[in-house]
Amino acid sequence: MEFLSKYQTALQERLVDTVLVKEPKQLYEPIQYIVSLGGKRLRPILTLMTCDFFEVDFHKAMNAALAVELFHNFSLIHDDIMDRAPMRRGEETVHEKWDLNTGILSGDAMLILAYQLFESYEPTMFQELAKLFSKTALEVCEGQQYDVDFETRDDVSLSEYIHMIDCKTAVLLGAAMKMGAIVAEASESCSNHLYDFGRNLGIAFQLQDDYLDVFGNSESFGKQIGGDIISNKKTFMYLTAIEKSSASEAETLQHLFSISPKDPSDKIETVTRILVASGAAEATQNEIERYTQKAFKCLDRVAISSEKKDSLRLFGDWLMQRTV
Ligand code: GRG
């Protein structure tokens, strides 16, 4: 993805400066640590790219892009605490490397730092960006709560699941793009279509994340494989398998998702087998494709050149072929 390198380079330089360690080190080192572990930087790239596509210097969107990436990294620290996850981006999670309280406070500081970055915009733009950011952050919280609630429910529907990942993951991709459009002073209609593009792509992206959690490679994916199975997460793939399996296989799945064995390897193996045999794994891939195409459709009424729309489609296709 050659055309992304100019955004990546500019972003990396500014990110390094944004997370410099100062006193107290215990607060700032974990911030530098999580950010320096890398990641794909999808969300800030989307912000910069969107601004650029409206022919406005993308550096103008840099602080909004940095805010989105800091917010994303903050949410990863807190998510890993809530999930008791040992690994992130192939390395120890913040709460494992330091401790729980450090993860909570450094995460909180990142959220404030993210808000602070909007202060560089003039009042009208600041208000628009901050408003979108607050709305999005609250939706992410709602999504996270639904996710937690679903762990103890056995009647979650597919549409409830999609609503949960829309809130937890997709709205941030949509907001990242809309922020680029706001900075570029694009029309409201264009900004909203790009928001919808990002949101649909975000749903496809989270479905892909769930798929990779089972079928990915732990080294390239950077997380423990089978983590969602271990923590009994009722993903789209699990819910589809329940619908598509025979009564006895569905019962096995339901039972396995009600226990937490010390050694989860047999559980992971059986669940994985049922996910494939029931056709749920394939159905999830079809759903990823359906949301990706839905996202592409949103580009029809965006006033940017067809060449730029092609770049966004390329980006979407690349995202859905990822193993990371
Ligand atoms: C918003 C106040 C407030 C609290 C946050 C913890 C929490 C509440 C929400 C969790 C949100 C979350 C972590 C969703 C998962 C999204 C997701 C798919 C993460 C992985 O994204 P990638 O693959 O990661 O882009 P990299 O490592 O590439 O940056």
DSSP assignment string, 282-319 = HHHHHHHHHHHHHHHHGGGG--S-HHHHHHHHHHHHHH
Which atom from ligand 1 is nearest to the alpha carbon of 76?
13
Which atom from ligand 1 is nearest to the alpha carbon of 324?
23
pLDDT in tens, 34-52: 999 999 999 999 999 999 9
In the three-class reduction of DSSP (H, G, I as helix; E, B as strand; rest coil), residue 210 is classed as helix
Domain count within the chain: 1
Predicted TM-score (pTM) of this structure:
0.95
CATH code for the domain of 267:
1.10.600.10
Minimal-distance CA residue to ligand 1 atom 3? 141
Residue to mutate, 45, 72, 74, 110, ligand 1, most ligand atoms under 8 Å from C-beta: 72
Which atom from ligand 1 is nearest to the alpha carbon of 71?
1
46 Cβ inside 6 Å of ligand 1: no
Structure-model confidence comparison of residues 179 and 3, the more confident one: 179
Q: Which residues pair with 88 in a beta bridge?
A: 91
pLDDT above 90 for 239: yes
Residue to mutate, 40, 46, 140, ligand 1, most ligand atoms under 8 Å from C-beta: 140
Distance of CA 305 from the midpoint of ligand 1 (Å): 31
Range of the domain at 285: 2-320
Residue to mutate, 169, 171, 323, ligand 1, most ligand atoms under 8 Å from C-beta: 169
pLDDT in tens, 247-256: 999 999 999 9
Confidence bin at 324 (pLDDT 50/70/90)? low
Break the chain down into helix, strand, coil percent, rounded to 5.
80, 0, 20
pLDDT in tens, 62-117: 999 999 999 999 999 999 999 999 999 999 999 999 999 999 999 999 999 999 99
Which contiguous run of DSSP H or E holds residue 279? none
Q: Which residues pair with 92 in a beta bridge?
A: 87
The per-residue pLDDT of the chain, averaged, comes to 95
pLDDT above 70 for 185: yes
pLDDT above 70 for 58: yes
